[in-house]
Structure 1
Amino acid sequence: MTISTSIINHHLIFILLLLAPPCPAANTLGSWSILLPSIGISAMHMQLLPNDRVVMFDRTDFGTSQISLPKGKCRHNSTDCSAHSVEYDVVANSIRPLTLVTDVWCSSGALVSDGRLTQTGGWGEGFHVVRNYKSCDECDWQEIPNGLIQPRWYATNHILPDGRQIIIGGRQTFDYEFYPKMSTAENAHSLPFLVETNDPNVENNLYPFVFLNPDGHLFIFANNRAILFDYSKNQVVRTYPIMPGGQPRNYPSTGSAVLLPLRITKGMIDTVEVLVCGGAPKGAFINALNGKFDKALDTCGRIKISDQDPKWFMETMPLARVVGDMLLLPNGHVLHINGASAGSAGWELGRNPVFNPVVYHPKNPAGSRFEVQNPSTKPRVYHSSAVLLRDGRVIVGGSNPHDKYVFTNVLYPTELSLEAFSPSYLDSSLITLRPNIISPKNKAKMRYGKGLAIKFTVLAPVDLNLVYVTMLAPSFNTHSFSMNQRLLVLDSGNSTKWVGQSYYTVDVTAPPSGNIAPAGYYLLFVVHKEIPSPGIWVRIQ
């Protein structure tokens, strides 16, 4: 077999394994496909795991789901023998039911450094519960009844440089705590900022947007304000200006936010930017309760939190959106998906689904950053979710604006299906431009500040100046926010080289510290002309 034939066969195998269902027909605005018509539950929460499986769950008191608990189990003190959590196998396109004991409704979580999902809080008997899930063919949830000091419902989690999670806020919980605990005497810590941003009628500071800044502090956005917070000293380091217009962006107004890609150069990051988009205007929640559905916000605020004198730069989106999800794509673009164009979060309070995703191009000039994509046919309103997969697709599930499973005689029935959005970089016409990583192999190890040599193939000639390497932390997605989401553009200098036939190499330097990349699993991509390879899992320590 010749080298060129081997390369072609390699690409054919990767297409069959990683891009099933088949690659979309040629277009430049993405495409949709149904993966499974029903997963048995409505996917309210999602987390991608390092074995290419996705944990999904809703709430245990939605009523009887359409998938049974494993091995004939029933929930304790209940006649409900149905599951409210499943594990989706991406490669096999199949699901397996999992067992939850306590209620995980409107909870939070993060992928910890050993690849477990550690998930916290929920409703009622789940307020103080910590749950761990380590994936295997027979694995199931393990629950720790009193793992939390405070009740955590609508809280936000983030992985810290030392590997612990910080858990911030929750309904009428104006403090933060850590997990795991350093000692049994450890207490929660007051966070007055959550009191200051709490609207007494509708709150609007739940599921605060939290990002780890490269200096080790936390950027926290709640309602219409933001701070830089030193959690180790319980001290506000910096207060940012109110976003122009003063409109609320957190639950139940429910916009979304991302930390824009962090570019590492010689171990440093010069610019740190946050983008906050969409939501519902002041009063929208109360108005919706009374049958008046206000138009969602159509603005985004972008701020360089690293500037000496940071200011919000406002942009207008082509589509207004509330309860939408913002996801970082492997090439550094931002996907805004799901949601409604009127109303707010809450039972039956959203109207007019937004079927078209929008891609935001951060590096484009202002005025040319938004690109409307092809629409889905499924309304994905309140309690929808979305995560990026290793092959570059985005899976979308959920949508249940009711307090039970309701399938008939309502505007937006409970949605049990799972579908995939394939961004334009997966267009079949671009296959010859798409890189494919040959080495290192999947589950490679990285060490802070150390070099990593990457070998990849591209069938068409490569512009060496248009190759870069990204590292993406898999996020915990619920209620329009992807916790722990961050994308790093690794330092590669001018190291991309052609080494013969369709083979190339690029040498990158791993992130310098846990402040920039907390230890754990990441997806690593080679990007050529903004077209990413399928990712490989790497673990940085």
Structure 2
Amino acid sequence: MHAGLLPNGRVFFLDKIENYTQLKLPSGYYAYSSEYDPTTNEVVPLEYKTNAFCAGGIFLADGRVTSLGGNGPLDFIDPTVGNGFDGIRYLSRSSSDASLNGQPWSEPGNKLSSKRWYATAQILADGSIFVASGSLNGLDPTVLANNNPTYEMLNSGGVSNGQSIPLQILVKNQPYYMYPFVHLLGDGSLYIFVSKSSELFDIQSGTTKRVYPDLPGDYRTYPNTGGSVLLPLSSANNWAPSVIICGGGAYQDITSPTDPSCGRIDPLDADASWEMDSMPEGRGMVEGTLLPDGTVIWLNGANRGAQGFGIAKDPTLEALIYDPSQPLGKRWTTGASSTIARLYHSVALLLLDGTLLVTGSNPVEQPILIPTPQDPFVTEFRVEIYTPPYLQGGNANKRPTNVQVSSKTLAANGETFTIRFDAPAGAQQAKVALYYGGFVTHSVHMGHRMLFLDNAGFTVGQTAQELTVTMPPSKNLAPPGPYVVYVTVDGIPAIGQFVQVS
């Protein structure tokens, strides 16, 4: 249900309290979290103390991941896991300290200022965390008393300031106000999208700076979630942000059609407006993931129904590839197909080797292993790897190798560092991407961003290369936290290297 790539190269998984998983803790109770090693396919159970069902999350400035909010206890299944509605959980991992591997989630007892089920988080330039939206009780969002259309701030250590403040874009767009899409822009403002509406929010003053035209089409956020991506940033256009939002649906029912349309907007442009495009098919619960070559892969979901238990069908099995550098009308291609339905509570995220991990699908309230006419889609425990085109057809043998980054601690202040690597014979071009994978859940990739960094020193055709690479000039462009540096040569990525940005 929730996932992210940790600084040790492993992946954390978080799920809800259930009466069956394939892992148990030493206590004998089921594990609802785990740490998975994609290189060995080994997994270890992780303990947590409060129910993380439908939480939000983000990586903190110090590299820890925090899980925020959740749902109530289910004592009849597991009396050891308490109320998670206002819970805050922390997980520490390191690329240099293997002793942290397998350690449980830490919950020292500090809480959110209010209950949040289905909240979104975004880290800011100073390391503080913006947390928005959620439900107070997980009940019907058409009853306004159940809802929490507010935001609160956590400090850089992940501790709440204790205040929940109404956020009008959430208030106005109930019941489609949960799991909003939130992106940090280069001027320090937040682009917030809910339902069909979006605005530019000034976090310092707590005011709306600008309201954008509604995105044509159906609803785009929970329960008719599409996907949203902040497209790659670079100095080539002065770090100007561009956001794309795709998919969605008409209403919360298994009969709901899904929307193939996409809107792309440059929110800091003076005349920002929606440029409309279309996926090859309608799709809900679709999530976009940035790739090191600058394309975006869209995976998972269905073309009928919505988020919720038992209300989606017609799973969409093929990968859709979006190239933002191409002209309108030529940006979409179709990639490989899976045979596994990835519906409610599925995830996809980029790994260090440039492939994508795809897993999950929990479309029934409690796990079932055998399909029935009433529940044709089972609880899915298999993990897949999707190999993008840049590693297909023998391209994996053309990877850059022996990557060495001069420093694993970098500052987003325009400083330079060096990267050494071996390029394949005849190499023509190199790019360096700074990549923040974020906290992945419910088609929302919280904090997700990628920046192409200026570099100099590449010699065409030479094998041994040394590049001088320039960091972004502002923490608004690269807020602090764990990132991966990917070197691509002629579009093919080397194995990524974790760094810590401050």
**What is the TM-score of this pair, normalised by structure 1?**
0.84
Aligned counterparts of 2:220 and 2:108: Cα–Cα separation in 1: 33
Partner of 2:152: 177
Partner of 1:471: 434
Partner of 2:47: 99
Instruction: Work out whether 1:67 is the aligned partner of 2:23.
Output: yes
Aligned counterparts of 2:433 and 2:239: Cα–Cα separation in 1: 17
Aligned partner of residue 195 in structure 1, secondary structure = helix
Partner of 2:56: 108
Paired letter, 1:127: F
Paired letter, 1:166: F
Paired letter, 1:53: R
Paired letter, 1:450: E
Aligned counterparts of 1:196 and 1:401: Cα–Cα separation in 2: 29
Paired letter, 2:295: H
Shift of 1:167: 0.6
Instruction: Work out whether 1:345 is the aligned partner of 2:307.
Output: yes
Whether the aligned pair in 2 keeps the contact of 1:175 and 1:191 (CA below 8 Å) is yes
Q: Structure 1 residues 360 and 190 mapped into 2: Cα distance closer, same or farther (>3 Å)?
A: same
Deviations 1:408-430 (A, max 9, x none): 22210100111111111112522
Paired letter, 2:10: R
Q: What are the residue-to-residue correspondences of 1:109-148 with 2, within 5 Å? A: 109-124=57-72, 125-135=83-93, 136-148=100-112
Aligned partner of residue 64 in structure 1, secondary structure = coil
Q: Structure 1 residues 270 and 88 mapped into 2: Cα distance closer, same or farther (>3 Å)?
A: closer
Whether the aligned pair in 2 keeps the contact of 1:474 and 1:485 (CA below 8 Å) is yes
Aligned length: 470
Instruction: Work out whether 1:481 is the aligned partner of 2:444.
Output: yes
CA RMSD, Structure 1 to Structure 2 (Å): 1.8
Give 4+ residue runs of structure 1 displaced > 3 Å after superposition: 180-186
Shift of 1:165: 1.3
Whether the aligned pair in 1 keeps the contact of 2:152 and 2:160 (CA below 8 Å) is no
Aligned counterparts of 1:66 and 1:430: Cα–Cα separation in 2: 36
Shift of 1:347: 0.9
Whether the aligned pair in 2 keeps the contact of 1:254 and 1:344 (CA below 8 Å) is yes
Q: What are the residue-to-residue correspondences of 1:8-407 with 2, within 5 Å? A: 44-60=1-17, 62-69=18-25, 71=26, 73-74=27-28, 81-124=29-72, 125-135=83-93, 136-171=100-135, 172-180=147-155, 186-198=162-174, 203-245=175-217, 247-265=218-236, 269-281=238-250, 284-285=251-252, 287-288=253-254, 293-407=255-369
Shift of 1:93: 2.0
Shift of 1:438: 2.7
Structure showing greater relative contact order (alpha-carbon pairs closer than 8 Å, 6 or more residues apart): 1
Partner of 2:493: 532
Paired letter, 1:471: L
Q: Structure 1 residues 367 and 479 mapped into 2: Cα distance closer, same or farther (>3 Å)?
A: same
Paired letter, 1:252: P
Aligned partner of residue 143 in structure 1, secondary structure = coil
Aligned counterparts of 2:244 and 2:441: Cα–Cα separation in 1: 18
Whether the aligned pair in 2 keeps the contact of 1:342 and 1:352 (CA below 8 Å) is yes
Shift of 1:119: 1.0
Q: Once the two structures are aligned, what percentage of the paired residues are identical?
A: 35
Aligned counterparts of 1:226 and 1:115: Cα–Cα separation in 2: 30
Aligned partner of residue 392 in structure 1, secondary structure = coil
Deviations 1:218-255 (A, max 9, x none): 0000000110101121100111111123x210000110
Shift of 1:462: 1.5
Whether the aligned pair in 2 keeps the contact of 1:85 and 1:99 (CA below 8 Å) is yes
Aligned partner of residue 178 in structure 1, secondary structure = strand
Aligned counterparts of 2:210 and 2:179: Cα–Cα separation in 1: 21
Q: Structure 1 residues 469 and 196 mapped into 2: Cα distance closer, same or farther (>3 Å)?
A: same
Shift of 1:377: 0.9
Paired letter, 2:430: V
Aligned counterparts of 1:485 and 1:97: Cα–Cα separation in 2: 26
Shift of 1:184: 8.2
Shift of 1:300: 0.6
Aligned counterparts of 1:161 and 1:299: Cα–Cα separation in 2: 32
**What is the TM-score of this pair, normalised by structure 2?**
0.90
Paired letter, 1:418: V
Aligned partner of residue 55 in structure 1, secondary structure = strand
Aligned partner of residue 487 in structure 1, secondary structure = strand
Shift of 1:257: 0.3
Aligned partner of residue 194 in structure 1, secondary structure = helix
What 5-or-longer segments of structure 1 have no aligned partner?
A: 1-43, 75-80
Aligned counterparts of 1:501 and 1:186: Cα–Cα separation in 2: 57
Aligned partner of residue 142 in structure 1, secondary structure = coil
Deviations 1:392-419 (A, max 9, x none): 0110111011110112222101001111
Please state which structure has a larger fraction of its residues in helix.
Answer: 1
Aligned counterparts of 2:425 and 2:457: Cα–Cα separation in 1: 19
Q: Structure 1 residues 311 and 184 mapped into 2: Cα distance closer, same or farther (>3 Å)?
A: closer
Shift of 1:204: 1.7
Shift of 1:391: 0.5
Whether the aligned pair in 1 keeps the contact of 2:64 and 2:91 (CA below 8 Å) is yes
Aligned counterparts of 1:489 and 1:380: Cα–Cα separation in 2: 31
Deviations 1:139-198 (A, max 9, x none): 111114441101111010011111121111112111111123899874122211111111
Shift of 1:435: 2.0
Whether the aligned pair in 2 keeps the contact of 1:324 and 1:336 (CA below 8 Å) is yes
Partner of 2:75: none
Paired letter, 2:395: L
Aligned counterparts of 1:532 and 1:370: Cα–Cα separation in 2: 21
Aligned counterparts of 1:230 and 1:304: Cα–Cα separation in 2: 17
